[in-house]
Amino acid sequence: MNDTTIEDDEANTSLLDVNQDGEIDLKDVKIVILRYEWILLSGLLLILVPIIDMTGYYPIPDTVYWMLAGICLSIEAIIELYLDRRRRNW
């Protein structure tokens, strides 16, 4: 066959179909949203925001930093609760 042709399996896959079951549903959304990368991203923001503020490049109010910290902790708690329930099969 020609290298430019797309096989049937490749044509039916989608970037949004994370679990590759052929459907884009709530399971796909959970897989994308409830990942540890969000904890890493929010932690990096907690590092970078004060550095940007300290250098004077862009002044950031303290309330924004604490709001970001609260969001970071909430993300971590939601992911951990979800994974804990999944491990216990509740």
Q: Is residue 56 part of a domain?
A: yes
Q: Is residue 72 part of a domain?
A: yes
pLDDT at 48: 92
Where the chain has pLDDT below 50, the residues are none
Q: At 43, list the tokens.
A: 């932690």
pTM: 0.60
What is the rounded CA–CA span in Å between residue 79 and residue 33?
9
Give the number of domains in the chain: 1
pLDDT at 20: 75
Q: Is residue 51 part of a domain?
A: yes
pLDDT at 7: 56
pLDDT at 31: 73
Q: Exposed, middle or buried, 68 (CB in 10 Å: 0-12/13-18/19+)?
A: middle
